[in-house]
Amino acid sequence: MDELKKYLQNHKDELDLDDPGQVLWDNILQKTEPVKKGISLLMIIKWAAAACILVLAGMGIQQFTANKADSKSIQVRSEKRISTHVQENKPIANSQQPIAISVPKPTTNSQQPITVRPETRIFLHDIESSFTQVINLQRSRISNTPMYTETPDYFKDFTIEIRQMEKDEKLIKSDIAKRGMTDELLDHLINLYQQKLNTLKQLQIEMNKTNNRYKQSRGPVDSVKTYFLNI
Amino acid sequence: MDQAPNIQTAIVRKACKGDAEAKAWLYRQYNKAMFNICLRMTGNRNDAEDILQDAFITAFHNLKQLKEAVQFGGWLKRIVVNECIRFSKKTVYWAEWEEEKNLYLPVEEPEWWKTVDFNIIHQEIKGLPDGCRQIFNLYVLEDYSHKAIAESLGITESTSKSQYHRARQLLKERIVKQLQIHG
């Protein structure tokens, strides 16, 4: 081999004496960096739309779950409202049809899994006795209120309604005895007590209104015609 | 000792995925050697930097084509030399030198270069005239054969040989002159 060539090849590294400019790397980096797409308005809109859909879907699922769990109690409440509305606006004396008060049948055929909370067993007795006390108090107020006009038949619809509720209460209690206490049955029972209490209050209001109307239009009361409701 | 190739392999793989830090590491590792090849081939800094920049950009864009990451240095060097040859073919008028062939015949000479500072040799190589400078570099430092040089630059093999001997003769004359002036 050429001696000069051999010598220079052996000392090739010692010939690397110059350095490139400092800006060279910046240029290289700039031209080799992957192009970063700017965040466009379209992208923002797309992400915002996606977020809205997610939020709405979440709310929908939550609502659906809540409705499913409370469907039975909501049914009872809505029926209660209807019956209350009927009592307020319909003259009791002209009411020909009994007011339908329905408590859902015990869910022996229910396909939903029944969850039993231990604490509900503990509170059942307390709840029952508390409601019973208030209901009995209201009953005694009604029983001790003298009626100066109309007849006991005038308030027959209320009586029927309360009798129906008492039947439903027995059904729920027997179901509890058979199947044990569930959240669902507890809800039914509480709703039933509330409904019963409301009906008694409505009856009290109606009795007072009837008496007031009679006092205002007829003057002094006739003690002979005075009677008491046995409800 | 064996960790260096592994490190380079890992870094090339990262650079392949677009990692800027990995690319910077490879640039720091090879920029000086590659720049000096370009500088000796072109004879001036501006062209050398342009070629170096294009070579690194080409390398980074085509990094996925590199089969063995450990061979990145050799692969990059081929890109650099090819860029230099492409540049030379564009800028150097070779036809004139066909007539000058066999003007410089090889002669036996003492090893005058052994006492010369490498900085002077480097400077004088850069200062050689176009044509003979590229051939000198390709033949001596890049270990191209005259046949390969002829094929690459589109000239005859004898032109390559004669230009090499011309370069070598000029180099000796200029270095000796330098040494006489500056001691």
* Tens-place pLDDT, residues B17-50: 888 999 999 999 999 999 999 999 999 999 999 9
Total tally of structural domains belonging to chain A: 1
Q: Percent of chain A beyond pLDDT 90?
A: 6
- The yes-or-no verdict on residue B78 having pLDDT over 90 is yes
In-domain check, residue A6: no
- pLDDT value at position B167? 92
Chain B: give the shortest CA distance to residue A21, in Å: 8
Compute the 3-state secondary structure of chain B and give helix, strand, coil in percent, each to the nearest 5: 75, 0, 25
CA-closest candidate to residue A7, choices B77, B16, B172: B172
- pLDDT value at position A122? 63
In-domain check, residue A126: yes
CA-closest candidate to residue B153, choices B81, B53, B48: B81
Secondary element (H or E) of residue A161: helix A156-179
In-domain check, residue A129: yes
Q: By mean pLDDT, which of A74-78, A185-189, B68-72, B153-157 is the weakest?
A: A74-78
The vertex-B150 CA angle with B149 and B152, nearest 5°, equals: 60
Phi, psi of B102, rounded to the nearest 5 degrees: 65, 15
Looking at chain A, which residue has its C-alpha nearest residue B54? Answer: A28
Among A2, A9, A18, beta carbon nearest to B35: A18
Whether the CB-CB separation of B80 and B55 falls below 8 Å is answered with: yes
- pLDDT value at position B103? 52
Check the CA dihedral B126-B129-B133-B136 and report its sign.
negative
pLDDT in tens, A19-41: 999 899 999 988 887 665 555 66
pLDDT in tens, A125-176: 777 777 888 888 888 888 888 888 888 888 888 888 888 888 888 888 888 8
pTM: 0.52
Topology of the domain comprising B3-91: Rna Polymerase Sigma Factor; Chain: A (1.10.1740)
Residue A147 CA to residue A227 CA, distance in Å, equals 5
Range A54-75 average pLDDT: 70
- pLDDT value at position A201? 87
Chain B: give the shortest CA distance to residue A39, in Å: 20
- pLDDT value at position A107? 47
In-domain check, residue A37: no
Residue count (chain B)? 183
- pLDDT value at position B33? 95
- What confidence tier does A196 reach under pLDDT thresholds 50, 70, 90? confident
- pLDDT value at position A75? 52
In-domain check, residue A84: yes
Q: By mean pLDDT, which of A97-106, A133-142, A181-190, B51-60 is the weakest?
A: A97-106
Chain B: give the shortest CA distance to residue A24, in Å: 7
CA-closest candidate to residue A159, choices A92, A66, A226: A92
Contacts of A49 (CB under 8 A, 6+ apart): none
Range B74-98 average pLDDT: 85
- The yes-or-no verdict on residue A78 having pLDDT over 80 is no
Domain that holds residue A217: 71-228
- pLDDT value at position A119? 60
In-domain check, residue A25: no
Q: Percent of chain A beyond pLDDT 70?
A: 67
- pLDDT value at position A88? 46
- pLDDT value at position A95? 42
Assigned CATH class of B95-182: mainly alpha
pLDDT in tens, B118-130: 999 999 999 999 9
Domain with CATH 1.10.10.10 in chain B: 95-182
Inter-chain Cβ pairs, chain A and chain B, closer than 8 A: 80
A221 vs A18, higher pLDDT: A18
DSSP string across A77-115: HHHHHHHHHHHHHS-GGG--SPPP--PPPP-SS--SPP-
In-domain check, residue A102: yes
- pLDDT value at position B45? 94
Residue A105 CA to residue A110 CA, distance in Å, equals 10
Contacts of A19 in chain B (CB under 8 A): 31-32, 35
- pLDDT value at position A19? 92
- pLDDT value at position B30? 95
- A162-169's contacts with Cβ under 8 Å and 24+ in sequence apart are A162/A196, A162/A199, A162/A200, A162/A231, A164/A98, A164/A101, A165/A101, A165/A103, A165/A192, A165/A195, A165/A196, A165/A199, A166/A196, A168/A101, A168/A102, A168/A103, A168/A192, A169/A103, A169/A193, A169/A196
Whether the CB-CB separation of B11 and B25 falls below 8 Å is answered with: yes
Range B151-167 average pLDDT: 91
- The yes-or-no verdict on residue B8 having pLDDT over 70 is yes
Domain with CATH 1.10.1740.10 in chain B: 3-91
Contacts of A34 in chain B (CB under 8 A): 18
In-domain check, residue A80: yes
CB–CB of A27 and B27 under 8 A? no
A130 vs B152, higher pLDDT: B152
In three-state secondary structure terms, A218 is helix
Check CB contact of A123 with chain B, cutoff 8 Å.
no
